[in-house]
Amino acid sequence: MFEIKEPHTFTDKEWKSYEKTLLKYIFEKRMREKAHAAVAQALKDGRLKPPKKCENCERPSKHRLQPHHHSYYPSTWLKVKWLCPRCHGHADQAYYPSYKEYEDYLSKQTKDWRDYLAEKAQRRKQCQLQPQ
């Protein structure tokens, strides 16, 4: 009825490529979080104030305007464009056309990576338990 597939075993080259991608993703995520925290702190301190209208469509927004970062480099953390939620969604989709697919791919790869590390740790334990 159901076919059980063998788990995919990764070569060293595939793991190195995956590790590199994962580290890049983690670094970018941390930079995004720091940029968002910098904007929140600047808003709290009064160094940054949102305008009354969206900078893209020029319409006053019923909702709170959202800061949009063009870049997450530390020197540009406070250089934001204030957009309404609709324009912000369009801006993010233009910048990350397949971001959802990328996150799905990474979450699947992370699960495979955890499984691989668990197997490796289990093998190491078995080797340590066997008398020599």
Position 130 pLDDT exceeds 90: no
Strands (E), 1-132: 66-69, 80-83
Residue predicted with more confidence, 102 or 82: 82
E strand or H helix at 40: helix 12-45
Instruction: Quote the pTM value.
Output: 0.57
**Partner residues linked to 81 by β-bridges:** 68
How many other C-beta atoms can be found within 10 angstroms of the C-beta atom of residue 82?
21
**Partner residues linked to 66 by β-bridges:** 83
Residue predicted with more confidence, 116 or 18: 18
pLDDT of the residue at 97: 47
Position 38 pLDDT exceeds 90: yes
Residue predicted with more confidence, 109 or 30: 30
pLDDT of the residue at 40: 93
Q: How far apart are CA 23 and CA 16, in angstroms?
A: 10
Residue ranges of domains in the chain = 22-107
